[in-house]
Structure 1
């Protein structure tokens, strides 16, 4: 049997590379291929054989690197190489305390990265948990309740309302089954299932004869045959996509890596020059090597990695206050570089609450105000924009929607929710807005009997008592029109029903993305105590139509507008229907291709026909993608990235996992998001709101601005220190500053001065400028020229005052203390210039960031200790200074401040004139 089965099934999707389209087969053919009877199921022997062939119904965890290897890889970064080199150098110099401090910084950075990476591994664990459940199967002709992990292809399973499908199943029987597939397909409305085969090229959301692992039955019941288990289910394929998604570098890591590599070569080159020049001058190799080491220590920006980590951490806390939880530090800056946001529709751009927006009754059209399930709003005539005028047809249309209804509208903890079907809930809310309270209606017309909704008939009907027994019916337009012959007019009179006119009204509503339900009624005999399908086959009175949609969030509309102003493209990628997606996209304000004056939505079926190059072109010019499968979401993200786009992708379902991981920044929903989506993301929105993304982008831009300010502030010091050593070597003089003094300057100023820039407020117009080009370096031409200018000024001031003090008879220690203090004081003055890289001081507010002045005060206090405390004199070879020496140092600082201020003003005016 095993050999036969393996041969028989080896060509099926559970084994072979070719994917069999089970949804395109008749149910009987699927059962025959899997060699199973729907009534008897598999025998224990067959189960054992298939388990040996297919394995357990669980997902294979990805082989992970050991914790030790992952931790050691945290040191595999250019900046960390620089710090490790600094540690080795300081140990070589005998400065063990400094070495310990630098290595402690490296170690803490490694721990932070290790913890953040470990959290990402939870994505696979979440997928495994989604498979651990129970399943009701038929084996040996008997119903059994087993662990879902024991399922095999060919098992016959039963599911009913509230159950999760334990594997991928081809339905063979169903009764009124509706399934919530939003976690897998992104479609917001429950899908009505049947057993009829569909075309092989149908996307997941259209495979109505299939039940997919981890989707939930919301209504009805059914029976099916398992066709795929474990890794071979649609959810399993998503795991494989997540495992295979490329880990991308962020714009920040790319730029800092490039900068660090450049810096490494510059340092090595200068050190080599110093070493060679020293040897040519006849100095000993040992002394020359120590001078080269001093140059390297001066040029290495020891405080840069510390500042990057701390500034990103501060950005994380700022974003948390704006309802965006960052899972990886570098995601803060990546948001600031984002130029494309691919957003899901349901719950992110929309309310995720079905809302009636249009009603047609008695030949009149109405709009319904208010959003979501909160019963606040009005029913207004569209034509005159007036409050509701008498209309018997509208009144009964709304009553029918409220009474022919099995759901409930309830308020819990100040929030209105629907218990039952969201579509029925929308009808309760629209009736309530017109003043028809459900409880009062049921008192006046209590329900006697009902015909529940069945997919075969496409309607629900209820029989009610009261002064006159009434039958109310709601359902698809086709089903209601078929049973109706007359229509109710606003004055309560009846006339012949014009079905063609109704169909035109339906078409117009559907073109707006509205889901349309039709309503009818019939008077029933007073003695009638039950209702059957034979009672409503014809002769009903048509009441009207109600059109509903999951409406866009108002704050999302404004957020999309702000993103577009900031040069960020917003694209909608959803599993929902194309018409609905296009309608919502138009309301939100997304641009893109249009057809016949309406926004064009590209479907997953159309995407399948495109090769990668064609997809790149289409993805660039299209803003709405509908009925998209998980692998197509992944392809779209890759296509955009191929065009050098920095892509942010939102998602909440299992199906979004691969795209979230592939995107430059994955954004998961905190409320509706699955564990899989959260585990694969870089950021989680606590309110599921698109507007929080816009706020996070703004914060990300601010973080990158402040990081750039820090780099522009710190580099001239390293340049000046390196030039000092180089100058001393070229002139053959003693070093103006010692290596240990350079370490003092670099470490203390980075922490006490540089980090104050992290608290600099966001500059005006930060969301009015376009995103930074992906290839643009951290330092522009203007900033490089300013860095050279300030570095040279520091060289002139420090070397000049060192030489002057020696000429005045000062000791070497005293002159070196002056040169060291010059570097510190000039950094304090230059810090004021770096609060804005473009705008003059008067435009940003002198006292808008008091942390800068606190930092300067603290740094000057520590430098006073360096100068005047005997213990510090011994440790750093420093010496006390006289008042005139200190005044000359501050005079040099003031000169630097004035020169840089003039340079900034000249560039600012020049750039403004160019724009004009």
Structure 2
């Protein structure tokens, strides 16, 4: 006995140990951790294994499901009288309130800080501080304004459209009836109502239709108990629960008959149960355990960080060399430092945060017009990179509405009588009508059948239960009419009509109606086999099949106390089949996604045959399919290999959906989108690169989603994918333009500083040139992308950026050096006395070269000939070019130390840029042939 108590003690401690920290400390830790995660990728567990916490929950539930009722009370330290009020209060104080997770919304300053923590924002702030220290207040102010605009754009969008935390208040406020005892001495049990959040393990709860289970519950009594687990499985079906049953360890967790899970609800029946787990120890908590945690940086975010570090490294190496070289010539340290800061500023793509956030905000607005709300701006980039979309069948591919497909007699031929009696059964059903009843009624009404229900009167009914798996109604006709279409020549009498699971209906039938004469005959084994064969064929097509039977009764013979007598010696009429049909738009949308390089995988909790049927209807291949139980027995390598191949995965649990998504991400190296709308989808939604839900989804799913569709239509995603690729493409244009221009400037400045007797440009000239170039790029978010670009997934490759920079940057430097040589040998502009002329010539050449870089980089085709930029881009570059040419002739130019340029120099620039245009295009083609891509 001592040994058993020791085991029980261990089990209880494992199941209910809770580590608690103060709210302020928790929020501080979460915030600090979040800051570090901006720069350090987070680790996640291996997709094919459960966490230690999950194993504890699973083991605890299975242990209590297999245990005898008396032992269950020992495990949770309770009695058949319930807990005393004092003991319940102690457990509540010790274990905390019954809340699966207690996430809070991020405060406004946390959102602002997260928006600020962009690598280039930090670089700009550092450069602004250095500018102020060097008394360059104007340039420092410009950089701070750019930071404020960028941070403001991101903060505004995410503050208004997104909240990172979950809130489960919809599940946590209902009252619960609990049995408590006054104490050990006073033998009095009381049934009281308490807040669901005050439930503790060991409480005995009462439940009836409409109630939510306040925790994981081991049933003590159950009377015809039917439970909806749709909040966990996402499927609309119900399950029967039984109290007195010893479970098999091999039974899937959600199929345990004696366990009811937190968040599920009672459809019909009633009973009592012992609460075995609450709060963070429930099965629901295993779904929520990883939610709300910071996602690791995606490929785009990692790429931006890498680009930031690369530019920092270049600045650290180049700027000191330039400063020392300039000081060697001028012997003025302060001026050399200011020049070095100016070079560092020129090397920094100041507009990147603004361009990125403008791109994303513009994309979010465009997607909102397309009935698609973007909560997380980074999701737009990921939409463009997405190459696999995992979707739940229910309501996404299908109409989420059952319809009648067939009403057949026992030989498989259409029969109106079968439909009529199924209609009467559903019409006179007084308990809550389900989807099947609604489908039958809708089918009759919309197809013009006139079954004259007013001529029938209901006498009584035998409700549905999961033991009989059928329901029956007893009706009678007007006294002056006959049941001529069922029982020819027999006077009006009572009639019992049964509808339910086919085998159960066949079990109560002794007769069958002949197809040719309509008269009844004995039901033979051959008849039964034929009917079951028809049913199997329909089931293999993904249809749900019910049987319909009837028999006449004399009213005086009716005794409602004996269900078995009423439902006996029935005449089998036929079968009626149902289907949740696919949406008309689903097939076209999936085809369009496939055309754009996005493959679809179906992850559903439904049966495999039904999933296959729907997938065939919408054009998804069903060559490789698997079920959740089959996945569970695979080892690590087999699991990942299977996930690569299969396109349809049925009967999945929430954790299995998560593992599928993680396997595709880690092993398959895919960018994964997940479309789901139930609590059961929350794990996968949170883990996916793009979490997508719908406006009608569960609150948890909507809070976790990055994108919310205002209608369940995959066509909305097609436009979202294209918008994501457009946004990504325009962002990449700016990054690559900046890198090419910057590496060109670095090479040119180094060479010029080493060989000239003066600075190649003064700090003011360098900063003005850089400012004008940034203005020329500000219209990039409004540029167009080539049609072929948006047809394929676009994913950041950090290895490709340095290669792109080293291929294309030196090309520009060649023509900068050609300009130096031309100024040296044609104009003699190499002495200190000619510095103003040199400054002016290179200022204009550098600005025009950078404007031309915009058009060379933005397309893989020949600019101006094969592909034109959008009008905003053309206007901005023309404007900046004109300003750059005009400035030397204005008073502003004189203040900057610029002078007039001869007309012959502009003739040289025309030849120079034609040369750059030609050589640049040759290098571009060679780069594309070598690297198979441009942007």
Report the TM range for the smaller structure's normalisation.
Answer: 0.7 to 0.9
The residue number in structure 2 matching 1:399 is 420
Aligned to 1:513: 542
Q: How much does 1:774 deviate? A: 6.4
Instruction: Name 1:859's counterpart in structure 2.
Output: 880
Please identify, of 533-542 and 394-403, the stretch whose mean Cα deviation from structure 2 is larger.
533-542
Aligned residue number for residue 453 of structure 1? 464
Mark the CA change 1:334 to 1:912 in structure 2 (over 3 Å): closer, same or farther.
closer
In the alignment, the residues of structure 1 paired with residue 557 and residue 824 of structure 2 have an alpha-carbon distance, to the nearest angstrom, of 110
Residue 346 of structure 1: CA displacement? 1.6
In structure 2, relative to structure 1, the CA distance for the partners of 1:176 and 1:688 (3 Å cut) is farther
TM-score (norm 1): 0.84
Q: Secondary structure at the match of 1:465?
A: strand
Q: 2: distance between equivalents of 1:529 and 1:407?
A: 17
2:221 to 169, 173, 186: 173
Find out whether 1:463 has 2:474 as its counterpart. Answer: yes
Q: Is the 8 A contact 2:162 2:376 kept in 1?
A: no
Q: 2:44 is matched with which residue?
A: none
Paired position in structure 1 for 2:28: none
Q: How does 1:199-278 map to 2 (within 5 A)?
A: 199-242=248-291, 247-278=295-326
Cα deviation, residue 353, structure 1: 1.6
Question: What is aligned with 2:490?
Answer: none
Q: Residue 373 of structure 1 aligns with which residue?
A: none
Q: 1:108 to 1:298 in 2, by over 3 A?
A: closer
Does 1:24 pair with 2:66? yes
Please report how far the alpha carbon of residue 523 of structure 1 lies from its aligned counterpart in structure 2 after TM superposition: 2.6
- Among residues 677, 681, 687, which one is paired with 1:652 in the alignment? 677
Q: Secondary structure at the match of 2:801?
A: coil
Gap runs ≥5 in structure 2 = 18-55, 182-188, 484-493
User: Residues 513-550 of structure 1: CA distance to partner in whole angstroms, max 9, x if unpaired?
Assistant: 32221111223336677756244332222222222233
Report the CA distance between 1:297 and its aligned residue.
2.5
How high is the TM-score relative to the length of structure 2? Answer: 0.83
**Inter-partner Cα distance in structure 1 for 2:271 and 2:877:** 73
Tell me the SS of whatever aligns to 1:471: strand
- State the Cα distance separating 1:649 from its structure 2 match: 2.1
Counterpart check, 1:833 vs 2:856: yes
Q: How many residues are matched?
A: 859
Contact 2:811/2:916 (<8 A) preserved: no
Match of 2:743 among 711, 716, 719: 719
Task: Choose 195-204 or 231-240, whichever is displaced more.
Answer: 195-204
Question: Partners of 2:295 and 2:90 in 1: how far apart?
Answer: 39
Cα deviation per residue 1:51-90 (whole Å; 9 max; x = unaligned)?
2443322245369998767755655443234323332343
Instruction: Determine the structure 1 residue equivalent to 2:347.
Output: 299
Mapped pair 1:632 → 2:681: no
Q: Distance in 2 between matches of 1:849 and 1:908?
A: 23
| Secondary structure, aligned partner of 2:168 | helix
User: Which of 842, 853, 860 is equivalent to 1:819?
Assistant: 842
1:435 maps to 2:448: yes
- In the other structure, the counterpart of 1:686 is 710
Among 476, 485, 494, which residue is 2:520 paired with? 494
> Equivalent residue for 2:627?
602
Aligned counterpart in structure 2 of residue 744 of structure 1, from 768, 789, 808: 768
Task: Map 1:291-690 onto structure 2 (within 5 A).
Answer: 291-364=339-412, 394-405=415-426, 420-436=433-449, 441-466=452-477, 467=481, 468=483, 469-491=494-516, 492-497=518-523, 498-525=527-554, 533-591=563-621, 594=623, 599-603=624-628, 605-643=629-667, 644-671=669-696, 673-690=697-714
The range that moved more, 876-885 or 627-636, is: 876-885
Unaligned runs of 5+ residues in structure 1 are: 366-390, 410-417
Over 3 Å counting, the alpha-carbon distance change for 1:540 and 1:707 in structure 2 is same
Comparing 535-544 and 479-488, the one that deviates more: 535-544
- Take 2:452 and 2:803, find their aligned partners in 1: how far apart are those partners? 74
Q: CA deviation at 1:147?
A: 0.8
Q: Distance in 2 between matches of 1:419 and 1:759?
A: 55
Distance change (3 Å), C-alpha of 1:302 and 1:119: same
Deviations 1:697-720 (A, max 9, x none): 222222222222222333333233
Distance in 2 (alpha carbons) for counterparts of 1:97 and 1:448 = 91
Deviation of the 1:475 alpha carbon: 0.5
Deviations 1:718-745 (A, max 9, x none): 2333333223212123233333333333
Partner residue in 2 for 1:90: 131
* SS of equivalent residue, structure 1 residue 837: coil
Cα separation, 2, equivalents of 1:28 and 1:288: 86
Shift of the 297–173 alpha-carbon distance from structure 1 to 2, 3 Å rule, reads: same
* Partner residue in 2 for 1:381: none
1:125 to partner: Cα distance: 4.2
Following TM superposition, by how much is the alpha carbon of 1:476 offset from its aligned partner in structure 2, in angstroms? 0.8
2:173 alignment partner, SS class: coil
The answer on 1:45 being equivalent to 2:86 is yes
Check whether the contact 1:59–1:128 (CA below 8 A) recurs between aligned residues: no
Distance 1:138 1:74 in 2: 51
SS of match in other structure, 1:474: strand
Find the counterpart in structure 2 of residue 850 from structure 1.
871
1:480 shift after superposition: 0.3
Give a deviation string over 1:471-491, Cα, whole Å, max 9, x none.
Answer: 221111121001112333455
TM-aligned CA deviation for residue 910 of structure 1: 9.9
Q: Matches of 1:285 and 1:551 in 2, distance apart?
A: 78
Indicate the residue corresponding to 2:15 in structure 1: 14
Deviations 1:211-237 (A, max 9, x none): 222223233333222111111112223
Distance 1:92 1:35 in 2: 69
CA distance in 2: counterparts of 1:434 and 1:662, whole angstroms: 45
Q: Aligned pair in 2 of structure 1 residues 519, 665: CA closer, same or farther (>3 Å)?
A: same
> In the alignment, is the contact (CA less than 8 A) between 1:716 and 1:791 conserved in 2?
no
SS in 1 for 2:16: coil
Deviation, 1:459, is: 0.8
Q: Distance in 1 between matches of 2:128 and 2:164?
A: 37
1:35: how far off?
Answer: 5.3
In the aligned structure 2, how far is the partner of 1:798 from the partner of 1:23? Answer: 85
Instruction: Verify the 8 A CA contact 2:120 2:308 in the aligned structure 1.
Output: yes
Please give the secondary structure, in 2, of the residue aligned with 1:162: coil
Moved more, 632-641 or 529-538: 529-538
Question: What per-residue deviation string (whole Å, max 9, x for no partner) do you get for residues 389-440 of structure 1?
Answer: xx5xx2122122322116999xxxxxxxx98412222222333454326xx6
CA 485–60 in structure 1, closer or farther in 2 if over 3 Å, else same: closer
SS in 1 for 2:11: coil
